[in-house]
Amino acid sequence: MLLIADTRNSFKLRLVLTFILLGIALTFLMTNHAWAEENTVQNSLTSMFNPENIQTNTYNDPTYNFSILPPHGWIPVSQTNQSDSALVVFANENQNSNANFAIYFYQGKPISNVVLSTPDNQILNLAISKLFDSSKYVVYQKNIQRFSDGFVIQAVISENKTTQNSPITEEFSFWLNDGRQYFLVMVSSQNSFYQNAADFERSVYTFYVEPKPTTSINIPSWIKNDAKWWSVGTISDQTFVSGIQYMIKNGIIVIPSTITSTNQSPQIPSWIKNSAGWWASGQISDNDFVKGIQYLVSNGIIKVG
C-alpha cells in the first residue's frame, strides 16, 4: 500500500497488528470498569454515515457493505475480498505527488456500554498508544469523534527517522457499535501531503456503511453447540461447513438472498470463528451470526447448490 513497493508488506503487517492491539485495548476498557466514568454519550448524536452519499458514491463493495466516492482522478489499483488484506487500494497515479489509500476491514466484538460510557480523551489516548509505538512513530495529529452508531479516530503520523523521502500517513478508523471496523489509510509523499490529505479527507466524508439487517432470522438453539465446539477447535472447519450446508439445504437456516461467488476460497477467516463463539455465548445476535454464513456462501467457501 505504501509508495515504495518493498515497504508494503511491513505496513500491511503494522495494520494487522493495529487491529490486534486496539482490540486488546478495547477489551481492557470492557473489563476494567474503573475506566467507565459518567456517561458522556449525548442523546443528540447523529449517525457517522450520510445515506445521501449512496447516490453519488461510485465504488461499492457488496461483501463488506460499504461504498465511497474516491478522490477525483484516483483509480483502484488492487481489490480483494479477503479481510486480512486491503479490500481496495486507490492511487492518484501522479508521479510528482505520489499517494494512495487503502480500505481495511476487521470484525470485532460489539462495543460495550462500558466503552460507550468512557470519556473520549481516554479512548483516544489509549487507542493512539496502542496503534502507534512512540519509539517508531511520531503522531502529529489525533482526534476522536463520537456518533450514535460508533466513533471515528483520526491520526496523522510518520516514522521517527523521517527523511525528505519518507511518506506521511493519515488514518481514519471507523468503529461501529455492532463490532464492524473499517480502516481508511492514506500514504503520501511529503511534498504534496496537504493536497493529497485534502483529497483523501473529502473522500472519507463520502464513506458509507450499510446498516446491518434487522430482519429476524430463526436459528434453532441446538445449533449453538456446533458453533461453540467449532470456535474452540473441538470440531474441524470441514465438519462445521458440512453442518451449515446441511441446514441451509434443508431450510433449517434460511440465508437471505446473496450473490454466490464462482471463486472458491477454502480458508475460513478467523473473525467468522470468533463470531461463532460470540454467538454461542449470546454476545451477538442470530442476524450477526448469519452475516458470517452469508460471507462463507458469497465467497464460495460453502457451496449451497
Q: Kindly state the DSSP code that residue 232 receives in the 8-state scheme.
A: T
Residue 218 lies in a domain: no
- Given this model, what pLDDT does residue 218 score? 65
Looking at the structure, tell me whether residues 146 and 184 fall in a common domain.
yes
Looking at the structure, tell me whether residues 259 and 201 fall in a common domain.
no
| Sign of the dihedral through C-alpha 250, 254, 257, 262 | negative
Last residue of a domain, one of 182, 209, 236: 209
Instruction: Compute CA 244 distance to the chain's CA centroid, rounded to the nearest angstrom.
Output: 25
Looking at the structure, tell me whether residues 177 and 288 fall in a common domain.
no
Residue 196 lies in a domain: yes
Please give the Cα distance from 224 to 220 (Å, whole number): 8
State the residue range of the domain holding 248: 223-298
Residue 216 lies in a domain: no
Looking at the structure, tell me whether residues 198 and 97 fall in a common domain.
yes
Residue 243 is placed in which grid cell?
453442518
Q: What is the pLDDT along the chain (305 residues), one digit of tens a residue?
A: 333 333 334 444 444 444 434 443 443 333 333 323 333 444 478 999 999 999 999 999 988 999 999 999 899 998 887 767 899 999 987 777 789 999 999 988 888 888 888 999 999 998 888 878 888 888 999 999 999 999 999 999 998 876 777 889 999 999 999 899 999 999 998 888 999 999 999 999 999 999 876 555 667 777 788 888 988 888 888 888 887 887 777 776 666 554 444 455 567 888 888 888 888 888 887 777 877 787 777 777 777 65
Last residue of a domain, one of 209, 235, 263: 209
Looking at the structure, tell me whether residues 46 and 89 fall in a common domain.
yes
CA atoms within 13 A on the CB side of 158: 14
CATH code of the domain covering residue 135: 3.40.1000.10
Beta strand ranges found along 130-272 (DSSP E): 137-147, 150-159, 168-176, 180-188, 208-209
- Given this model, what pLDDT does residue 113 score? 82
Looking at the structure, tell me whether residues 195 and 228 fall in a common domain.
no
Residue 304 lies in a domain: no
Contact assessment for residue 216 and residue 192, using Cβ atoms and an 8 Å cutoff: no
Per the listing, cell 447516490 goes with 55
- Burial string for 166-185 (b: 16+ CB within 10 Å, else e) reads ebbbbbbbbbbebbbbbbbb
Looking at the structure, tell me whether residues 201 and 147 fall in a common domain.
yes
- Burial string for 230-252 (b: 16+ CB within 10 Å, else e) reads bbeeebeeeebbebbbebbeeee
Looking at the structure, tell me whether residues 41 and 120 fall in a common domain.
yes
Amino acid type, 274: N
- Given this model, what pLDDT does residue 143 score? 94
What phi and psi, each to the nearest 5 degrees, are found at residue 145? -135, 130
Residue 305 lies in a domain: no
Looking at the structure, tell me whether residues 44 and 160 fall in a common domain.
yes
Residue 256 lies in a domain: yes
- Residue 38's SS3 state is coil
Looking at the structure, tell me whether residues 165 and 123 fall in a common domain.
yes
- Tell me the DSSP string of 257-270: P-PPPSS---PPPH
Q: Looking at the whole model, is its pTM more than 0.85? A: no
Contact assessment for residue 137 and residue 157, using Cβ atoms and an 8 Å cutoff: yes
Looking at the structure, tell me whether residues 265 and 231 fall in a common domain.
yes
- Given this model, what pLDDT does residue 290 score? 78
Residue 210 is placed in which grid cell?
450499510
- Given this model, what pLDDT does residue 91 score? 93
- Given this model, what pLDDT does residue 176 score? 94
Total domains, the chain: 2
Number of C-beta neighbours around residue 159 at 10 A: 14
Residue 93 is placed in which grid cell?
497515479
